[in-house]
């Protein structure tokens, strides 16, 4: 267990290099095997994780460029643990469900390379290392969209790359300046996030640095008005690309807010809290309304993702344990549910080569198993109690209610709007008579598709009924992070708000 984090990070990319030697007919099985082993390693990590400890565990530290404080520094806590498991699990499921047959070897290799970068982002505690993994994740996803996407795939891939890369450049400037500030304060260089947690910055400096990091994270989420790349990326990406993009890559942005923005710049985070909350409400309502207007199933789910990410942002900036813990749990639940929904759209697209709702109707009588699983995931997406979607949304909204009940009320309308567009999609596609003769001969889910979807259904129900195994470790680490924020704030207003947000009865 001494080097399990290194093994988890680099096993997929090493296996991906060996995949060049594998015969194309066997490479899909090879990829699934590698992803399964990687998932098992992440489960072993969970089993060895001390759920009663809030600090960083399984730390691996090797100095790389000592004179500039750069190091190979990995670690995991309750905040990152389940995002790592989500990454390995959804990669495995996506490879099982993949139906692409053209150039499958390069696709599997690209996915394995992407898995290394995703896991690396969540485990890196040296921010230079974090940035390298963050930027490296763009390359395989750019390739997946551009090589296996639909008609406008090149445009979608380039737009995805330019948006996310542009924001990241400004974050790099902020990282280097933050390292310089640490050098000025201590006389030595360090890019270890745990060292930076000990440094309190003046309020004005926090504002500028918060802005530098905010742009990169906001584009990745994506927050309004930086969201325009996402519908194109989802619409043009192959199913496996949409699954990984929605399930994991978007969560890198919200993880960045939790891991970096809040504890490093607590005063600035509180200063911008209400404006960011208003943007989150716009995301929730605006994206839901646009989703309702869509005719393409995949676009409905794409805009639904933006709406749900708004709730995650709201919980993140609640500045209390309920809201932040709820937002992290919602990252996990949204990853599972949105990934499953994109997978289900891919199933019907493989059979009919269309995603337009007008081409369907009556699918429930033709594909009953498909309709049942789609219905379960749809209910989880709208936050039905006893499904995984309800837990995170409820905690996120409850957390921000302590800050501002009016904003929370408007954000809560997203649940109603979500039910409206999702149930409309389901009604138009699955109920009524079969009017299109091509749909009468559609085959229901096969064994490969069921093997990918049934585990997701089990998780949706199981974690909706009993979320404690995940909520417990997350909550401990979140409370420690809030304590770090409280120790670092330099303005009385920020300290008062943290106290209000985390006191019993706060906000009433």
Give domain limits for the chain.
1-236, 272-508
pLDDT reported for residue 497: 81
The band of 500, judged by pLDDT with boundaries at 50, 70 and 90, is confident
Tokens of 390: 């309800």
pLDDT reported for residue 506: 42
Q: Reduce the DSSP state of residue 445 to 3 states and report it.
A: coil
Q: For 70-84, what is each residue's pLDDT tens digit? A: 999 999 999 999 999
Pairing state between β 57-65 and 70-76: antiparallel
Q: For the chain, what is the mean pLDDT?
A: 90
pLDDT reported for residue 508: 37
- Number of Cβ within a 10 Å radius of residue 440: 10
Secondary structure (H, E, C), 371-428 = HHHHHHHHHHHCCCCCCHHHHHHHHHHHHHHCCCHHHHHHHHHHHHHHHHHHHHHHHH
Side-chain-side CA neighbours of 101 within 13 Å: the count stands at 1
Q: According to DSSP H, which parts of 56-197 are helical?
A: 78-97, 104-123, 127-136, 138-148, 153-186, 193-196
- Number of Cβ within a 10 Å radius of residue 24: 12
Output 127-130 pairs: Cβ under 8 A, ≥24 positions apart.
127/175, 127/178, 127/191, 127/192, 127/193, 127/196, 127/260, 128/70, 128/175, 128/191, 129/70, 129/71, 129/72, 129/73, 129/74, 130/193
Burial of 470-500, coded b for 16+ CB within 10 Å and e otherwise, reads bbebbbbbbbbbbebbeebbeeeebbebbee
Q: For 266-324, what is each residue's pLDDT tens digit? A: 999 999 999 999 999 999 999 999 999 888 888 899 899 899 999 999 999 998 889 99
CB 312 within 8 A of CB 327: yes
Q: How far apart are CA 327 and CA 309, in angstroms?
A: 9
pLDDT reported for residue 437: 80
Q: For 49-69, what is each residue's pLDDT tens digit? A: 998 888 899 999 999 888 888
pLDDT reported for residue 464: 93
pLDDT reported for residue 498: 79
For every residue of 95-117, DSSP letters joined together read HHH----TTHHHHHHHHHHHHHH
Per-residue pLDDT for 251 more than 50?
Answer: yes
The band of 397, judged by pLDDT with boundaries at 50, 70 and 90, is very high
Segment 41-53 shows an average pLDDT of 93
pLDDT reported for residue 82: 95
pLDDT reported for residue 209: 93
The band of 507, judged by pLDDT with boundaries at 50, 70 and 90, is very low
CB 303 within 8 A of CB 381: no
pLDDT reported for residue 352: 85
pLDDT reported for residue 139: 92
The band of 505, judged by pLDDT with boundaries at 50, 70 and 90, is very low
Residues in a beta bridge with 356: 296
pLDDT reported for residue 435: 81
Integer angstrom CA distances of residue 309 from 21, 55, 184, 224, 328:
40, 27, 37, 10, 11
Per-residue pLDDT for 27 more than 50?
Answer: yes
Question: Is residue 487 within a helix (H) or strand (E), and if so which, with residue range?
Answer: helix 468-488
Query: Between 321-352 and 388-401, two packed helices, what is the crossing angle to 10 degrees?
Result: 140
The band of 176, judged by pLDDT with boundaries at 50, 70 and 90, is very high
Tokens of 26: 């066997």
The two counts, helices (H) then strands (E), for the chain are: 24, 2
């Amino acid at each position: 267990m001494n080097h399990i984090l290194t093994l988890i990070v680099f096993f997929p990319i090493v296996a991906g290099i060996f995949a060049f030697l594998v015969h194309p007919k066997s490479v899909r099985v090879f990829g699934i095997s590698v992803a399964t082993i990687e998932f098992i390693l992440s489960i072993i990590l969970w089993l060895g994780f001390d759920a009663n400890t809030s600090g960083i565990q399984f730390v691996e530290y090797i100095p790389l460029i000592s004179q500039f404080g750069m190091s190979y520094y990995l670690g995991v806590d309750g905040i990152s643990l389940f995002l790592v498991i989500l990454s390995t699990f959804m990669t495995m499921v996506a490879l099982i469900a993949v139906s692409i047959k053209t150039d499958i070897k390069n696709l599997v290799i690209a996915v394995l390379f992407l898995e290394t970068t995703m896991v690396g982002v969540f485990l890196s505690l040296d921010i230079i290392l974090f940035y390298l993994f963050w930027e490296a994740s763009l390359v395989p996803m750019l390739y997946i969209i551009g090589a296996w996407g639909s008609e406008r795939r090149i445009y979608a891939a380039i737009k995805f790359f330019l948006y996310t890369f542009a924001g990241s450049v400004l974050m790099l400037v902020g990282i280097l300046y933050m390292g310089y500030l640490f050098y000025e304060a201590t006389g030595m260089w360090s890019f270890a996030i745990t060292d930076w947690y000990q440094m309190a910055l003046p309020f004005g400096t926090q504002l500028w640095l918060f802005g530098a990091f905010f742009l990169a994270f906001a584009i990745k989420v994506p927050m309004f008005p930086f969201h325009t790349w996402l519908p194109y990326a989802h619409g043009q990406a192959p199913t496996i690309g949409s699954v990984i993009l929605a399930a994991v890559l978007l969560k890198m942005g919200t993880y960045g807010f939790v891991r970096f923005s809040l504890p490093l710049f607590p005063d600035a985070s509180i200063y911008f809290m209400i404006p960011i909350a208003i943007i989150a409400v716009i995301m929730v309502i605006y994206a839901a309304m646009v989703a309702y207007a869509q005719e393409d199933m995949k676009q409905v789910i794409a805009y639904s993702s933006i709406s749900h990410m708004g709730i995650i942002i709201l919980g993140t900036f609640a500045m209390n344990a309920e809201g932040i813990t709820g937002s992290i749990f919602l990252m996990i639940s949204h990853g599972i549910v949105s990934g499953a929904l994109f997978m289900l759209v891919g199933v019907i697209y493989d059979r009919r080569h269309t995603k337009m709702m007008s081409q369907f109707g009556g699918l429930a009588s033709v594909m009953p198993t498909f309709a049942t699983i789609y219905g379960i995931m749809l209910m989880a997406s709208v936050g039905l109690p006893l499904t995984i979607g309800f837990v995170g949304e409820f905690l996120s909204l409850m957390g921000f209610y302590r800050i501002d009940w009016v904003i929370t009320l408007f954000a809560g309308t997203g649940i109603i709007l979500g039910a409206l567009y999702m149930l409309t999609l389901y009604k138009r596609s699955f109920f009524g008579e079969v009017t299109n003769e091509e749909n009468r001969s559609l085959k229901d889910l096969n064994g490969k598709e069921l093997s990918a979807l049934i585990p997701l259904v089990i998780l949706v129900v199981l974690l909706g009924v009993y979320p404690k195994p995940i909520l417990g470790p997350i909550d401990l680490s979140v409370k420690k992070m809030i304590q770090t924020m409280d120790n670092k704030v330099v303005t009385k207003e920020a300290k008062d708000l943290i106290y209000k947000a985390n006191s019993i009865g706060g906000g009433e």
